[in-house]
Amino acid sequence: MKKILIALVASIALVLGTGAFVSGASAADYPGTVPTAPSTPPVKTIEPGSNFKITIKIKAGNAKANGTLRVVFNGKKYTVKVRNGVAKFKGKAPKSTGTKAIKYTFKPSKNSVFKASKGKTKVKIKK
């Protein structure tokens, strides 16, 4: 009977004792550890001077990233919000024809676990 009681007390001491070894770091967030990859939308053909919209998805596994997308198009800089991994950029095509590049940089929300990433696509402008 003594052996059973000692074994019971020892097992309870082990279970309760391991709680002291668990630190708060195991439950902490790890900012900037999840890689992201912006999708590259297909090349769009639009008319000069017309308005257009491009949807850019920020892929991070099956998680939904939030933050901002900084877009550079035709020499101008734009900022678009990313919600649930989706950013919708609205722009106006220049009057000249040709192929224009759209470059974008994803910046995650403050204290987010996601990493920043970059991407680019093109827009064809012709009549």
**pLDDT, tens digit, for every residue of 50-75?**
999 999 999 998 889 999 999 999 99
Q: Across residues 30-58, what is the average pLDDT? A: 89
Q: Across residues 109-126, what is the average pLDDT? A: 93
Q: Return the DSSP state at 113.
A: S
Q: How far is CA 116 from the centre of its chain?
A: 7
Amino acid at residue number 99: T
% pLDDT > 90, the chain: 63
* Mean pLDDT of all residues belonging to the chain: 87
More confident residue, 108 or 27: 108
Q: 111 pLDDT band (50/70/90 cuts)? A: confident
Q: 11 pLDDT band (50/70/90 cuts)? A: confident
Please, which residues bridge with residue 53 across strands?
Answer: 90
What are the residue boundaries of the structural domains of the chain, listed by start? 37-125
User: Is the pLDDT at 93 greater than 70, yes or no?
Assistant: yes
Contact 3, 83 (CB under 8 A): no
pLDDT number for residue 33: 85
Residue 72 to residues 6, 30, 51, 69, 124, Cα–Cα distance (Å): 71, 30, 16, 10, 16
Please choose, from the candidates 59, 55, 61, the residue with its C-alpha nearest in 3D space to the C-alpha of residue 80.
Answer: 55
More confident residue, 20 or 92: 92
| E-assigned strand segments in 2-85 | 37-38, 44-46, 51-60, 63-64, 67-73, 76-82
Question: Quick one: 37-125 is in which CATH superfamily?
Answer: Immunoglobulins (2.60.40.10)
The structure's pTM equals 0.73
CA 73 – CA 5 distance, rounded (Å): 75
